[in-house]
Amino acid sequence: MISPSPELELLESRINDFYNSLQPGQLLESLFDSVPGAFYFVKDCDSRFISGSLSFAKTLGETSVEAILGKTDYDFSPDFLADGFYADDQQVMASGVAIRDKLELVPTADGSLDWLSTTKIPLFGKTGVVVGIAGVARLITDSDSVYAGHPEMHLIVAYVRQHYREKISVSDLAKIGGISVSSQERLFKKTFGLTPLMYIRRTRLNAACRMLRETKVSLPEIATQCGFNDQTNMTRAFRLELKITPLKYRRNFSNASTLRKGKSPSVFLRSQLEPIS
């Protein structure tokens, strides 16, 4: 093996000294806050947030990066989202191979859901073992291949984000996009892996879960504010997607969210609660 030259060793030493002299949080975090629609985060081997940009913290409903540190996606997102985030984290850490430009549904600062392109890379410790991941995500724009070929999809997604609190039908969305209901169904499944109805339901559920975690608003009022027909309709959606009722989600979330290692709070809760009849 060829030894590095003295000049290269000196350069590496100076670079290391420079980085070691810096206060944390001055590089990537602040830079990403200056890029519209871009977010940055770092997680440890248990998928706990170790660092991130302020813009990313705001997508989780927080006003500071400190508020997300030590927590996981399960503290901020319903299981149908957090399970996927956690699985990707663990895949990257187990394989040591990055996931690049994955299209995924994620929470946004206004409580809705949007499609982002996410890249996650493994972070190696000094011993060569993976100790965590770093990730960047960015909003999908009209120029991206996702929407470039079918701009009507962007119109439909944007409409749901802005109007999910209102009554929306699949036929309404098809009219917004200027396509037939059958074409909309086919394109949605091909592009996002979801039906339009599932996207509407999950957007409403994400907003409802945030209100259940963060407010004391009554269940009927949450149902109304999040676009469900009534509390019964919201409960049915919770049972379908989360296998738990809204009331049990609210009552037990604070205890379940103390769990770590990425374990799903509602999976934990379901193991201790009687089956829903």
35 found inside a domain: yes
Instruction: Name the least confident of 152-161, 174-183, 206-215, 266-275.
Output: 266-275
pLDDT digits (tens, 9 = 90+) for 176-230: 999 999 999 999 999 899 999 999 999 999 999 999 988 999 999 999 999 999 9
6 found inside a domain: no
80 found inside a domain: yes
Buried b (16+ CB within 10 A) or exposed e, 66-99: eebeebbbbbbbbbbbbbbbbebbeebbeeeeeb
98 found inside a domain: yes
Tokens of 29: 């975090």
Q: Check whether residue 131 and residue 165 sit in a common domain.
A: no
Please tell me the total count of domains within the chain.
2
Domain CATH code at residue 69? 3.30.450.20
pLDDT digits (tens, 9 = 90+) for 219-255: 999 999 999 999 999 999 999 999 999 999 998 775 5
Q: Check whether residue 160 and residue 226 sit in a common domain.
A: yes
Domain boundary, last residue among 139, 162, 177: 139
User: Domain limits at 250?
Assistant: 149-257
Q: Check whether residue 187 and residue 234 sit in a common domain.
A: yes
Phi, psi angle pair for 68, to nearest 5°: -100, -10
User: Closest by alpha carbon to 42, among 122, 96, 100, 107?
Assistant: 122
Q: Check whether residue 154 and residue 135 sit in a common domain.
A: no
